[in-house]
Amino acid sequence: MSNEIASPSPAVKMNAPAMPTKMATNVLATIGAQIIGWAMALLVTVFLPRYLGPDDVGKIAAATNFISIFSILVPLGTSTVIVQAIARDHSRMPEVVMTALFLRVPLAIFCVAISLPIAKMVGFSETIQVLILVASSGMVINTIYQIFNSALQGQEKLPLLNFAMLVERFANAALTLALVAFKAPLWAFALTTIVSLLTCVLVQTWIFRDLRHSLYIPAWLDIKNLVVAGIPFLGWVALTQLYEPTDTMILAKLTNNTNIGWYNAATRLGGTLMFFPVAIQTALYPTLVRLHESGDTKGFYNLSRRMLDIIVLFSVLGGVTLMAGSETINLLVYGPKYAGAEMVIRVAGFNSLLYAIMCLLGGIVMAINQQQRMLNVTIVAWMIGVAFCIVFTYFSFRWFGNGAAGAMASDAIREIVVLIGMFAILPKGLFGMDNLWRMIRCIVAALPLPALLILASQQQAGIGVILLALTAGVLIYGGLCVALRVVSREDIVMVKQIVGAKFSGSANAKQ
């Protein structure tokens, strides 16, 4: 299949293009929800590792990453298929959701049954086996949660999707902080995800309450077709989500729980920077699918370029800050117990920028139905990443006592390989030197912020001065972005139009 954008088949039923007000609502609702969710996740990121310490964090990370291997296989790549099918024809939602439930829920139950015996065969300690036993029971709930999420995204009902997500984040943060306050045992923290997901699924069930009128047992052929459609996506999703579990397993064999804790702490901190790229990708992916299906090449190109520029604008700031201010940020967030995580966090900052761009390019590649070629790239990158992870982890642990830094460095090499492969798949002319030049200007504009953080750290300033330096750096970044024309007048006008469309739409809805 050519990597050019093809015209849709006449048999494909298209919905009417989304109105600007609806797109504005989706974008703003998703960004707002991601910011609130980020704040909740940051609370957990700060308090939980401080309470547990690197060793116990490493045990939880080993258990959750082991469970995630099974959780990755359960969807069979069908989440993206659900989004695409419903985005093309909203009336198919009941059919697609019921088929996915009949496929994935039994598979989740099977994975729950085999997870603990396999954990014993692998040789995990009794403590980690208990954590696996507790956490694995949440796979069925997580399966239902993911299916409903995909359906809401396909329908472009992002406010409802984000409301359900916020319920889950609030429940998780509240329960985690309560367990920390009452000094709960380690195994109790494995329950937080299950309880929070169950709360979210109850909300989603209420949202999809009309689905009870469409309950039926899907035909075997429908289930088979869903599996076949999801296989190409399975490889991409499975391998990208296996990156962290694979690194954790290698760290478990070559290092110790403390190194796993450092790696997990850095990964959590880097993951908090993904809230904005995820918001943009979640809100606009269905629009990309529709533009491709309708043959609107110009609209597809323009939206893809704008998404890249916006994601780079926000990701560069966070990535550069983590790289240059890792010592200050590590001490501020995790405390002196995590001194060994400083170098790991520095590499995680660089990786966060690569991963943000990779997520966007992955969405574009899937929108143009090139997932098979993307799978080939991902397989090569994963094999290279595993090889480098083993080598880097072994030698960095042997020479410096920090295998986590080596594992994180191998992630950077893997992401670079994926990005090179994806750029080769994308349609020619989609991105150009203008996008690269804008990224360079973003990096230049971001340099004062880490410089201020380093200066505050050298002066042994208190938290108030550090927060002041952070605020000043963000303001300087914004000013330099305007001065260096990273943010153009057209961008500002577009933001005003989106916000204006949002509020005018809200006003009309009330009349």
Parse the chain into domains and list their residue ranges: 18-241
Look up residue 161 and give its amino acid: L
Confidence (pLDDT) at 148: 93
Q: What is the rounded (10 degree) CA torsion for 143, 73, 138, 278?
A: -70
**pLDDT range class, residue 390, cuts 50, 70, 90:** very high
Look up residue 400 and give its amino acid: F
Alpha-carbon distances of 511 from 21, 42, 396, 426, 503, rounded to whole Å: 16, 39, 64, 45, 13
| Secondary structure, 3-state, 141-158 | HHHHHHHHHHHHHHCCCH
Confirm if 439 and 309 have CB atoms less than 8 A apart: no
Q: Tell me how many degrees the CA angle 222-228-231 measures, rounded to the nearest 5.
A: 140
Structure tokens at 146: 């993911």
Task: Assign 3-state DSSP to the chain and report helix, strand, coil percentages, each to 5.
Answer: 85, 0, 15
Burial of 207 (0-12, 13-18, 19+ CB in 10 A): middle
Confirm if 236 and 77 have CB atoms less than 8 A apart: yes
DSSP 3-state assignment of 67? helix
| pLDDT digit string, tens, across residues 77-93 | 888 889 888 888 888 88
Confidence (pLDDT) at 283: 74
In the predicted model, what is the mean pLDDT of the chain? Answer: 80
Nearest to 265 by CA among 72, 48, 501: 48
Q: Of 77-91, 414-428, 447-461, 463-477, give the lowest mean pLDDT range.
A: 447-461
| pLDDT digit string, tens, across residues 93-148 | 889 999 999 999 999 999 889 988 998 888 888 888 888 888 888 888 999 999 99
